[in-house]
Amino acid sequence: MSGVTPSTPAPALARQLEFTADAVQAVRSGRSLTEVLGRCPPELRPGVQALAFHTLRWLGSATEARARLAPKTPPPLVDALLVTALALLWPGEPAPYAPHTLVDQAVSAARLRTPAAAGFINAVLRRFLREAEAIVAAVRHTPLGEYNHPLWWVERVRRDWPQDWQALLLQANERPPMTLRVNARRGSGASYVQGLAALGRAATLLDEPGLGGQAVVLGAPCPVPQLPGFAAGEVSVQDAAAQRAAGLLLDPASPWLRPQARVLDACAAPGGKTAHLLELAELDLLALDSDPARLARVQETLNRLQLRAELKAGDARLPAGWWDGRPFDAILLDAPCTASGIVRRHPDVRWLRRADDVAALARVQAEMLDALWPLLAPGGRLLYATCSIFQAEGRQQIDAFLQRQPPGTALLDPRSPGHLLPSRDNGSSGPTGRSAVLQDGFFYALIRKT
């Protein structure tokens, strides 16, 4: 078993495990990890988040192992603590503590919440340490144990990507890189990398087409407040795949939008793409979102970056409630989706989604496309985006939309990347080829109105 033995057990580890088990139980019951972490004591939150992320990445393996070690399902809180400990003991990603330290602290956590189960948890975990090799081998013969995604998710990825499905599922359990977007109004990506190097922090500039020389990957993640110039608006955190949106819509190589062109960001929160558009061009931009609370985050982002846009709460499917009748020159529709392309960053997503969510979200996406398309001026472009690898939310969605339009009135731009898979070979259905880092999964379609 892998792990690093600290000189002394962390005093707060038992309490961290206690709250991590709470988080796992909450996700299993359908609540988002972000919501649960918001209720965690501030002094424990960073540690609990790290442990919860690790646990949710290996939850399938841990669940299968628990079923072999204790075939009768324990009460929910006991089961959550067991699978948390088993996931942290699993020989995949190095755990932050040595195995026997984890067992000891898991038993201590049980005594805090479920004292009667402490002996049971101790026995199960120590048996796992004795029989780990055989149990791991058995678990890896099951789809849930091998891929750590729900079975319906495994089957959908296999159907959508028959050549890549295993790699996609396995790579979804890797830790994501921390990627930055340097504000083009304040400096270049190259200069920011040099500044980081002077501070002893390693970073790499991504020179891939479509990223504009502003995407930087840190050698090691760090707390956002430690980023030089973050508070002053010099840099933002944004995955490289998400950074492609602004360049696709604006096309810096062949600019087509006039200064102060009217642009709609139809599902703007939390504001990363809104801000990127404004960093690259002078636009009359309307940032729309259905959730006023999330729209407040867009304003916070714009304030930090010293950018301006009109913000309005409204449903993109119901323009009569917010549109003033003036056509838009460009529309960005970053539509609500399953988020199946960003499970490395949000490992709870795979356990929160249900199979029928895909069709339900696809219907919402189609309604948004149909509602927004008439708002686009002739000659304008609509960029449809989802952070999904499911073809029902990408290629199939756009194929159906184009078929609904009169012939010749909606043209797919040849620069449209299509599906960008969350792997280093993420250009398998587009022009970008092999990436220097693992990027999120996205779908992009740029459509021109004639």
Say how many CA atoms lie within 13 Å of 55 toward its Cβ. 29
Residues 355 and 388: their CA atoms lie apart, in Å, by: 14
| Residues taking part in catalysis | 387
3-class state of residue 1 by DSSP: coil
Q: Which residues pair with residue 180 across a beta bridge?
A: 216, 237
- Per the CB < 8 A criterion, the answer to whether 76 and 25 are in contact is yes
Measure the CA angle with vertex 101, ends 104 and 81; round to 5°: 55
Can you spell out the DSSP letters for 342-384?
-TTT-TTHHHH--TTHHHHHHHHHHHHHHHHGGGEEEEEEEEE
| Max Cα–Cα distance, the chain, nearest Å | 71
Residues 85 and 328: their CA atoms lie apart, in Å, by: 53
3-class state of residue 447 by DSSP: strand
The residues near 184 (Cβ < 8 Å, ≥ 6 apart) are 212, 214, 279, 280
Residues 199 and 243: their CA atoms lie apart, in Å, by: 25
The residues near 175 (Cβ < 8 Å, ≥ 6 apart) are 93, 344
- Region label for 238, one of left (φ > 0), alpha (ψ between -120 and 50) or beta (otherwise): beta
Can you spell out the DSSP letters for 13-27?
HHHHHHHHHHHHHHH
Q: Where are the beta strands (DSSP E) in 199-353?
A: 203-205, 215-218, 235-237, 261-265, 283-289, 310-313, 328-334
- Among the listed residues 303, 184, 307, 293, the one whose alpha carbon sits nearest the alpha carbon of residue 238: 184
Helix (H) or strand (E) holding 135: helix 118-139
Evaluate the omega torsion of the peptide bond into residue 270 and state whether it is cis, within 30 degrees of 0.
yes
Q: Which residues pair with residue 218 across a beta bridge?
A: 203
